[in-house]
Structure 1
Amino acid sequence: MLISWIYSSSSAALLAALAFPPQQSQTQVLDASTGAPIPYASIGVQFKPVGTVADATGRFAPQALAAAQPADTVLVTCVGYAPQKLLASQLADLPAVRLTPQPHALSGVTVRASAWKRQRVGHEGSFSFTHYNFHLNGDAEPARKLGREVGTVLALRPQSELEDVHFYVGNNSFRGVRLRLNVRALDADDNPAASLLTQDIHYQLPDGAKGWQHLDLRPYRVQTGQNDRVAVTLEWIDGAPDPARDWQVLLMPAPLNPLHRMVYRDKSADQWHSLRASLSLYVTAVSPRD
């Protein structure tokens, strides 16, 4: 049906307002020492599946945390910085959040090369009837996945160093997917906790990529310290769906296994959940011999 109407200056103003709706207010995460933006910082409501991830310029929309209560605690975090806590009620009108650099000293342990043992630790299989999917039924918007994290708990000798990580992608319909690798100590409740990394480590997943993915960790000196178990996780920090696909997936095989433990959470400050399953992820670890 064709509708005719009179074009006027008021009509033009109305059209402009409809075509370019008011932009959401944004907050930027900055380095407290240099004032530089902190890309891909994580923002989450403590113990709740509410949060987001800043973009490459450190900006995020506080509206992404609209489900938070005013008295909820918001955690702003990034590897290499001390976490910043603030109330959700403070965030709406805050132009910037400044994080203080927190250098993480290496252990300094020196062992002769002949005293090291190299081994693969984790699940090297890729066949499974069950999978972890980064995309959930309730994800109406791509941003809904920002901060989602999954990983596995690995047993290692103390003072190990991780040389690389491999993880398997069974299917992928997203574009521009960026994942953050993390290696975490376990707390008293056996949940992933403090990061053991000294640098923020990202992996850019090629569009349409499937199969085993490899990330070289040697430039980052990833050391486990005195921990004999760590959680190695992947956090979704960017990515967009393929508009040509009706259903979106990014699958990782995770066969059920009573001897292995997969951990996951929906946002960066959410509670951790676990499942007895073998996520298709393994590392090459170099450890001191007995």
Structure 2
Amino acid sequence: MKTLFTRCYEQRLAALCLFAGLSWSAQAAPTGPAGSVLTLTGQVIDASTHEPVPYASLSVAGTPAGTVADALGRFQLKVPAQYSHDSLRVVLAGYRTYTASVQDFQQQACPTEAPCVVALVPQPVQPADVAQPAGRVVRRTLGNADYLQTVPQLFPGNAPGIQVGQPIRVKRRAQLEEVSFLVARCTYEYAFFRLNVYPLAADGRPNEQRHLLPAPVYVRVDRSEQAQRVRLDLRQYGLTLEPGQEVAVCLELVSKPGSGELELTNTAANGFLLEKYSASGPWTKVDNYGAGIAATVTELR
């Protein structure tokens, strides 16, 4: 069965995400005989500084309801009424995950005639030890760094929260130094992404309950960067992978760039790539393909 990623590539279409203006209130709006929709609008802030926290992910577990806050922490989340007792999660690397039922969230975080406020508590992070390891050092590139024998693939839409990921596995203890990806074509003026590194669960899909990076890492891709490899230096984070550990290196779209297309390289491979079509949706494995995402690691011997 074809996936959305494959269909997008074949049809050469990109989704257009239309975002309505924030109404700065929490309200239930009728949607017809099937029931009602609770519209939660508000802002994510830092519990310590009270400053806006950009691009936090909001989702209702096990449902289609989800979104990503904007650069000022503002969000609008539509939740069908039948999910009012399900868990709402607000997640961002570097902060403790906020969890509450939708109903409790509305009562506690959404005062009458005022915006909802989510105060994320900073998660203390042990300072990274990035000292040069003793002994022999071997650098390897994992994933897909080959410039040849690649074909362009459309990023599967332009709604915030969509992700594409490449699994990698290390044989020896290693530090993750760099992640790169090759932009085949970009017709947006710009696109704004977050890099996520997740451990793989037993079913081979990312475990989003655990962000391995201690802080958010963002990258802006401009139209002028098409046909170039974009590189992200991660040495400052001192992220160490243990022998045999499998992780997913993922790119998540967090901005709303309007209409346009973004194409990453894609290769035929023996493994698989990973796709997520919405902020709250499940991960899909696409066999025999590899995303044009590569990771450089330093093996510690």
TM-score (norm 2): 0.75
**CA distance 1:60–1:111, change in 2 (3 Å):** same
> How far off is 1:111 after superposition?
6.3
1:105 and 2:126 matched: yes
Q: Would you say the 8 A contact 2:129–2:238 is kept in 1?
A: no
> How far off is 1:220 after superposition?
3.0
| One-letter identity of the residue aligned with 1:236 | L
1:14 aligned residue: none
> How far off is 1:106 after superposition?
5.7
Within-5 A mapping of 1:220-239: 220-225=237-242, 228-239=245-256
1:74 aligned residue: 88
SS in 1 for 2:271: coil
Shifted more, 35-44 versus 184-193: the winner is 184-193
2:153 aligned residue: 131
SS in 1 for 2:236: helix
| One-letter identity of the residue aligned with 1:286 | T
1:201 aligned residue: 217
Give the structure with higher Rg (CA): 1
Q: Would you say the 8 A contact 2:179–2:295 is kept in 1?
A: yes
SS in 2 for 1:239: coil
- Give the Cα–Cα distance (whole angstroms) in 1 for the partners of residues 218 and 174 of structure 2: 21
**CA distance 1:110–1:164, change in 2 (3 Å):** closer
SS in 1 for 2:145: coil
- Give the Cα–Cα distance (whole angstroms) in 1 for the partners of residues 85 and 197 of structure 2: 30
- Give the Cα–Cα distance (whole angstroms) in 2 for the partners of residues 197 and 215 of structure 1: 13
- Give the Cα–Cα distance (whole angstroms) in 2 for the partners of residues 68 and 261 of structure 1: 35
- Give the Cα–Cα distance (whole angstroms) in 2 for the partners of residues 81 and 158 of structure 1: 29
**CA distance 1:216–1:71, change in 2 (3 Å):** same
More strand by share: 2
- Give the Cα–Cα distance (whole angstroms) in 1 for the partners of residues 123 and 137 of structure 2: 30
> How far off is 1:39 after superposition?
1.1
- Give the Cα–Cα distance (whole angstroms) in 1 for the partners of residues 186 and 105 of structure 2: 34
- Give the Cα–Cα distance (whole angstroms) in 1 for the partners of residues 81 and 272 of structure 2: 30
**CA distance 1:102–1:91, change in 2 (3 Å):** same
1:13 aligned residue: none
| One-letter identity of the residue aligned with 1:263 | L
**CA distance 1:68–1:218, change in 2 (3 Å):** farther
Residue by residue over 1:130-185, the C-alpha shift from the partner in whole angstroms, topping out at 9 and shown as x without a partner, is 624232xxxxxx6xx10111111001145421221110112212233110001111
Q: 1:219 aligns with which of 236, 241, 245?
A: 236
Superposed CA RMSD in Å reads: 2.7
| One-letter identity of the residue aligned with 1:116 | V
Identity of aligned residues (%): 27
Shifted more, 162-171 versus 107-116: the winner is 107-116
Structure 2's unaligned 5+ residue stretches are: 1-19, 25-40, 111-115
- Give the Cα–Cα distance (whole angstroms) in 2 for the partners of residues 228 and 254 of structure 1: 24
**CA distance 1:167–1:109, change in 2 (3 Å):** closer
1:282 and 2:291 matched: no
Q: Would you say the 8 A contact 1:130–1:256 is kept in 2?
A: no
Q: 1:253 aligns with which of 265, 270, 279?
A: 265
| One-letter identity of the residue aligned with 2:54 | P
| One-letter identity of the residue aligned with 1:125 | D
**CA distance 1:132–1:160, change in 2 (3 Å):** farther
Number of matched residues?
Answer: 254
**CA distance 1:195–1:279, change in 2 (3 Å):** same
Q: Would you say the 8 A contact 1:38–1:58 is kept in 2?
A: yes
SS in 2 for 1:219: helix
Q: Would you say the 8 A contact 1:117–1:287 is kept in 2?
A: yes
> How far off is 1:113 after superposition?
4.4
- Give the Cα–Cα distance (whole angstroms) in 2 for the partners of residues 48 and 129 of structure 1: 33
Q: Would you say the 8 A contact 1:107–1:223 is kept in 2?
A: no
2:7 aligned residue: none
